[in-house]
């Protein structure tokens, strides 16, 4: 088995793993390799603007998931996609299903990188051509909302394999589940040629496990931030993709209330603070 049999045109892939296990490195390598091999434009969504210089000059960056999804004939990396495309929120499922069907129509490859989706609606799983797993977080059962679902099983199997590896090996391997090829196993992934410590730190700065010493953003500030990062449409009687009602403005296709609900669902939760930190 090799990567060429896994990565196919007009497909979406879910990339999962704990912080600092090499998810982004894997995704950038796939972007570099398969943009050339499949003749697709390499696109990165969600990279902070001042970091774009870390990418090769033929790479294109987009700020929102909607903008990224519009680029045809492209291999598109949605880094830390959970912030913009929550896979556990029933209210946005039509939006997610529509989004994940784009690659089929637009000759795209989607790589959606998630730190750890606590729950992925099982109806989404068939929309992915493959699941690319780096080492999952330590306590899978604590982190997962549901036991025994398909994704948790995949993560347990991945943990078994990564548990036997030296730390330095973990970034070099990916546990791949490719249902359409009826295959699962480990594949080696080199680093992309343009890899740099600075690129690694883009998301490394965002420590998903230790957020509780950071100032907590209010819900209103968070929604405003997410609105700023989304594509805004103004008009008359625009139809919200989530609730179907008409509104004068839409944020990434959703009305204000639906967008706010969605944004708050994916707002990082500060950990319980049992002892005040001084």
Q: Residue numbers of the site for Zn ion (CB under 5 A)?
A: 240, 242-243, 255, 258
Q: How far is the CB of 112 from Zn ion (least distance, A)?
A: 23
- Tell me whether residue 126 or residue 235 sits nearer to Zn ion (CB atom): 235
State the Cα–Cα distance between residues 98 and 199, nearest whole angstrom.
Answer: 31
State the Cα–Cα distance between residues 221 and 223, nearest whole angstrom.
Answer: 6
- Tell me whether residue 82 or residue 253 sits nearer to Zn ion (CB atom): 253
List C-alpha distances in Å: 101 to 8, 60, 207.
14, 22, 31
Q: How far is the CB of 94 from Zn ion (least distance, A)?
A: 11
Q: How far is the CB of 91 from Zn ion (least distance, A)?
A: 9
Structure tokens at 277: 């930190």
Q: How far is the CB of 114 from Zn ion (least distance, A)?
A: 24
Q: How far is the CB of 89 from Zn ion (least distance, A)?
A: 13
- Tell me whether residue 151 or residue 254 sits nearer to Zn ion (CB atom): 254
- At residue 210, φ and ψ (nearest 5 deg) are -130, 60
User: Looking at residue 191, what DSSP letter applies?
Assistant: P
- Tell me whether residue 35 or residue 252 sits nearer to Zn ion (CB atom): 252
Spacing of C-alpha 30 from chain mean position: 14
At 241, is the secondary structure helix, strand, or coil? coil
Structure tokens at 203: 């998301």
- Tell me whether residue 44 or residue 85 sits nearer to Zn ion (CB atom): 85
- At residue 220, φ and ψ (nearest 5 deg) are -65, -40
């Amino acid at each position: 088995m090799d990567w060429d049999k896994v990565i196919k045109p007009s497909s979406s892939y879910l990339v999962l793993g704990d912080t600092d296990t090499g998810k982004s490195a894997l995704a950038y390598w796939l972007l570099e390799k398969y943009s050339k091999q499949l003749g697709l434009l390499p696109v990165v969504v969600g990279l902070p603007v001042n970091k774009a210089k870390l990418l090769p000059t033929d790479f294109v960056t987009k700020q929102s998931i909607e903008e990224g999804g519009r680029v045809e004939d492209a291999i598109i990396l949605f880094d830390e996609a959970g912030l913009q495309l929550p896979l556990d929120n029933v209210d946005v499922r039509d939006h997610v299903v529509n989004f994940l069907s784009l690659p089929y129509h637009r000759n795209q490859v989607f790589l959606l990188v998630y730190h750890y989706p606590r729950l992925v609606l099982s109806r989404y799983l068939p929309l992915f051509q493959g699941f690319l797993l780096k080492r999952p977080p330590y306590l899978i059962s604590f982190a997962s909302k549901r036991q025994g679902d398909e994704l948790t099983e995949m993560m347990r199997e991945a943990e078994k394999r990564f548990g036997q590896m030296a730390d330095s090996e973990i970034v070099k391997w990916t546990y791949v589940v490719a249902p359409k090829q009826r295959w699962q196993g480990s594949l080696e992934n080199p680093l992309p040629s343009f890899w740099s410590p600075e690129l690694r730190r883009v998301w490394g700065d965002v420590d998903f496990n230790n957020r509780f010493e950071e100032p907590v953003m209010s819900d209103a500030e968070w929604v405003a931030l997410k609105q700023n990062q989304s594509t805004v449409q103004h008009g008359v009687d625009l139809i919200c993709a989530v609730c179907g009602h008409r509104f004068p403005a839409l944020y990434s296709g959703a009305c204000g209330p639906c967008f706010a609900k969605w944004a708050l669902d994916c707002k990082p939760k500060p950990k319980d603070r049992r002892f005040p930190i001084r």
